[in-house]
Amino acid sequence: MDLNLTGKRALVCGASRGIGKATAMELAANGASVTVLARSAEQLEHVRTTLPVIHAGQVHYALAVDATQDFELIQAVNNHVEKHGSFHILVNNTAGPAAGKLIDSTVDSLMEAFVQHILTAQRLIKILTPGMTSDQYGRVINIISTSVKQPIDGLGVSNTIRGAMASWSKTLATELAARHITVNNVLPGATETERLEAIITKQANVRGVSESEARSNMLAEIPMGRFAQPSEIANAVAFLASPSAGYITGTSIMVDGGRTKSLS
């Protein structure tokens, strides 16, 4: 199996921590030159300097930008592409919407999530499609959620936006297949990051239980009896980014320890 990403350039969004950071590490470990993107410049620079370098010619960059600010994002990515070349691999990833029931959520919170997830991804793919097409190598991987298969209680805005993102992804997979660009999703289950801690705290508050009880309740729903490590999500991304995954497009891979009950 060919997982070698030497000569490939990857843009990994939401890479200052959590799943995005682990993904950047894994792509770099397989030889890609990685550009990490997030808002916090200091954290991002720290990640950039710790990315593996396994061959000469592999250079990593950091882009500190708020991806929801359209002008800022477009300018930063366009400038980067002009200077360092276009990307072969795009990992769409950002923070998840706040937890809570959909009925209690504001219209504004849905709008914000739409901007952060869908519009950011659309802006990026429009910039990067020409380069992927001319290099005949494109891998778009979206970090979404298992809620695409089975909505998760208490994550109303997230459930809604994840469905839209999966539909965006499937549509593009069809439209871009003939250009050697694949578009796939990785659906993490409960993964040990700051996002998971926030969800546990919220569930504990809503249900009036301690955080350790909320944690145990979540673990009880996972057949493997443990949360995922971010690196386990990153492994699936690295495979989809690789030459070996060239005939896989329009699909979603669940990495959830068996939690989701859906058959497809």
Which letter does DSSP use for residue 116 in this model? I
Give the Cα separation of 253 and 236 in Å (integer): 8
Q: Which stretch binds ligand NAP (CB under 6 A): 55-63, 127-135, 176-184, 185-193?
A: 185-193
- Please, what is the angle between helix 194-207 and helix 211-220, to 10°? 110
Q: Which stretch binds ligand NAP (CB under 6 A): 131-139, 166-174, 183-191, 238-246?
A: 183-191
- Report if residue 142 touches ligand NAP, rule: CB under 6 A: no
Q: Quickly count: other Cβ atoms within 10 Å of residue 207's Cβ.
A: 12
CB of 133 to ligand NAP, least distance (A): 26
As to burial, measured by CB atoms within 10 angstroms (0-12 exposed, 13-18 middle, 19+ buried), residue 240 is buried
Interacting residue with ligand NAP among 94, 169, 182, 260 (CB under 6 A): 94
Any alpha helices (H) in the chain, and if so which ranges? 18-29, 41-50, 70-84, 107-113, 120-135, 156-176, 194-207, 211-220, 230-241
Backbone angles phi, psi at 136, to 5 degrees: 55, 40
**Which 12-31 residues touch ligand NAP, going by CB under 6 A?**
14-20
Q: Which stretch binds ligand NAP (CB under 6 A): 76-84, 93-101, 218-226, 242-250?
A: 93-101
Binding mask 64-83 for ligand NAP (x = CB under 6 A): --xxx---------------
Under the rule (CB under 6 A), what is the footprint of ligand NAP?
14-20, 38-40, 43, 66-68, 93-96, 116, 143, 145, 188, 190-191, 193-196
